[in-house]
Amino acid sequence: MVQSGNGKQLAVSLPKIVPVLAVSVNDTHSKVKAAAAIALERVGAVISNPEIKAMAHLLYPCLSSTSETATRRALDALLSTSFVHSVDAPSLALVCPIVLRALREKPAASKKKGAQIVL
């Protein structure tokens, strides 16, 4: 578990760490893949936004696979959420790679959902 002092330092670094982990989760080496998956799950410990924390179980599969189904589920969850609390950098670190993937995918529906989240 992340200690409180270390958690704050980790939270500041998440915007740089999560994109690297998202790539590493799809690595061909099984040990790299497993370590990145564990690290992504531990990232959830420092997220303070309750809305993002509640849907983290939908966001992790999207970060760890290239499946359009996982991306669609994550985008639908993000679109259907009314954010009441401020979205901080650690929370955005989980959301931004998903939105960027949606904007880069071929299906127009994914691009539209990604654009709706940005707006």
Q: What is the pLDDT of residues 57-103, one digit of tens each?
A: 888 888 887 788 888 999 999 999 999 998 888 888 889 989 998 99
Residue that is written with structure tokens 């998956």 in the block? 37
Q: How many domains does the chain have?
A: 1
Q: Is the pLDDT of residue 1 over 70?
A: no
- Look up the pTM and report it: 0.79
Q: What residue numbers bound the domain in which 41 lies? A: 4-118
Distances 9 to 15, 21, 62 between C-alpha atoms, Å: 12, 17, 25
Distances 61 to 69, 85, 100 between C-alpha atoms, Å: 10, 24, 15
| CA dist., res. 19 & res. 94, Å (int) | 8
- Residue 19 φ/ψ region, left for φ over 0, alpha for ψ in the -120 to 50 degree band, beta for the rest: alpha
Which tens digit of pLDDT belongs to each residue from 4-51?
456 677 777 888 888 888 888 888 899 998 998 888 888 777 888 999
